[in-house]
Amino acid sequence: MPDRLHVLTAIYQSDRADRATTLTVSLATIGVATTYLIGTIAFYDKLDLLGWAISLLPFPMLCTAAFHSQLLNLAAVRARSVLTLERALLAAAGPDQSHPVDPSHVGATAAEHATNIHTAGTPHRLAMLIAYGGAGVIPLAYTVLMLIKAAHHLNGWVAVPAVFYLVLLVPITFAWRDSAAKLDFDAITSASGCEAG
């Protein structure tokens, strides 16, 4: 049993470190996307020099949105792993009658309940909806703005990049939806509890 505990502890520490790295990559990606957005908007009046190539400017923003859906998916998978390992480690430690510990108030479980969109308090849920809503609305608004600007150069042909971006948005939207659903740990826990029973 002690060897199993050491293995679980090592995996737990690895998953926690991976979650921190994912957050760092996510924040760096947001920084790059924000810089790109501000940089192109700052020169909005000079974009006509690019001609039809203006229609290509939204592509990096949509790639960033797709990448972020993957980061959210990875964060959900890592969080689920950390929570599962944490429960196993607490169970292996055994109950301490002198200092009983409520597993929902310690470690990653407490953090997930406080910061997860499915379990956080109302003010935090609203803040998360603003953040994730902004992450969706900003690339869409940017795409529309650039296509309107490109329409002066492409005329009716602006429909080609518009359809292309619309086709790209479908899998990106479903990926975001799937990743967000994976963050509902209560549904996962109750479903796995039903399967076990």
Higher pLDDT, 90 or 195: 90
Better pLDDT: 98 or 52: 52
pLDDT above 70 coverage of the chain, percent: 90
> pLDDT value at position 139?
93
**Mean predicted lDDT score pLDDT of the chain:** 86
pLDDT over threshold 50, residue 194:
no
Sign for the CA dihedral angle at 22, 118, 11, 9 comes to positive
Highest mean pLDDT among 81-95, 117-131, 155-169: 155-169
Judged against a pLDDT cut of 60, whether residue 132 lies above it is answered with yes
- What does the alpha-carbon distance between residue 48 and residue 163 come to, in Å, rounded to a whole number? 22
According to the model, what pLDDT value does residue 97 have?
Answer: 64
| Domain spans of the chain, in order of start | 2-191
Which residue is listed with tokens 């086709």? 167
Model confidence over 40-67: pLDDT tens digits?
A: 999 999 999 999 999 999 999 999 999 9
**Is 43 in a helix, a strand, or coil?**
coil
Q: What is the CA radius of gyration of the chain?
A: 22
- Whether 195 shows a pLDDT value over 50: the answer reads no
pLDDT at 123: 93
DSSP conformation letters of 57-119:
THHHHHHHHHHHHHHHHHHHHHHHHHHHHHHHHHHHH---SSS---GGGSHHHHHHHHH-TTT
- For 41, 46, 127, 130, the CA distances from 161, given in Å and listed in that order, are 19, 21, 33, 28
**CB count in 10 Å sphere of residue 181:** 12
- The yes-or-no verdict on residue 165 having pLDDT over 70 is yes
Which pLDDT does position 82 carry in this prediction?
85
**143/158 Cα distance (integer angstroms):** 12
Q: Is the pTM of this model over 0.85?
A: no
Percent of the chain with pLDDT strictly greater than 90: 46
- The rounded distance, in Å, linking the Cα atoms of 61 and 172 is 12
State how far the alpha carbon of 76 is from the alpha carbons of 44, 70, 114, 150, 180, in Å.
37, 10, 15, 38, 8
- Predicted confidence at residue 196, as pLDDT, reads 44
- 159-181 helix and 122-154 helix, angle to the nearest 10 degrees: 160
| 71 or 195, higher pLDDT | 71
Q: What is the pLDDT of residue 96?
A: 67
